[in-house]
A = this chain, B = another copy of it.
Amino acid sequence: MLEAAERLHYVPSALAQRFARRKSGNLGVILPLVPKVRLFSTYYFSEILSGVGEEAGRHGYDLLLMFRKPDEKREYAMLFRTQKVDALIVLGSRDEPDERQALAELWRDGYPFCLVNQRFDEEPFPAVDADHESGSFQVVRHLAGQGCRRIAFVNGPLVYSNSADRLAGYRRALEASGLPFDPKRIYAGNYSRKSGLELAASIADAMRRGEVDGIFAGNDRMAIGIMQGLREFGLEAGADYALAGCDDSEGARMTDPQLTTLSVPFDRMGKLAARRLLAADETTWDTPILKLPVELIVRASTERFGSSSTTD
């Protein structure tokens, strides 16, 4: 009777449901907010977020987005204590004392969380990562295959595990190619285009001295900055030197020559992280750290180089 009247317009209050069930129904996502200074590619986060959102939706969860201010102390566990989230995905995490401690607290108290594209090797923190080590290996091997003998590596900050991973892959690839490893050929950027641009001067010097003939940059943005910077010195990617980036972001197809890069399955990483946290049956919890493969995308910035130079 009342049912009939109700059925017409009745909508249960999610607020009351969640309260009664003592479940927020929210999957929290932490994003680093770097206002006005875009160290991170928005591409990277958009992709991950799409994956997370899709999977969260499939499981009936809503996405609660939290921006982490650079200075602000990380009270990740508080999100669980206040019951704002049932599970948490942390993006753009860095290996720093504050961060480790906040994550350790989550782990100690048994709150379900997952890192994406970042690992803490000595810690048991669950993570979905990409195989940046083998990706870097591939790309540096490719550079060597194109005739490069002195391959420089422009890395980002080592607080990101993927920076260390790429460095390892770079070294291993040099070895496998019978090329010497020289710390002089490692340049420190910060993943911004600007940092690539600024490093160009000293890279150009090195190239002039014959000490660099190929460059692998830790992301596309730095690679693009390098390409632009070296152009100022009359040096063209794909002709005077080979250049590769990482991420296969939109920018990689916007430059001329287009950029050889590594395609990282960010959306799938986000999806997997969410599934790990939200799926009851599906078992991905056996290994704490999941690594997805990365794919080499060859474009013109490394293409024609091989034909001209093997001038050691």
Contacts and interface: CB of A to CB of B under 8 A. Distances in A.
A1 interface: no
B67 A50 contact: yes
A197 B46 CA distance: 24
A16 B29 CA distance: 22
A307 interface: no
Given A65-B65, A66-B63, A193-B253, A83 B19 contact: no
A33 interface: yes
Tell me the number of copies of this protein. 2
Interface stretch (A6-14, A127-135, A210-218, A289-297): A6-14
Interface stretch (A37-45, A143-151, A158-166): A37-45
B11 A254 contact: no
Contact of A11 (B65, B67, B81): B81
A180 interface: no
Interface string A40-79: 0011011001100110010000111111000000000010
Nearest to A41: B250
Contacts of A16: 19, 83
Interface in A246-303: 250-251, 253-256, 267
10 contacts: A13-B82, A26-B64, A33-B53, A38-B250, A50-B67, A63-B64, A64-B64, A228-B256, A250-B251, A254-B255
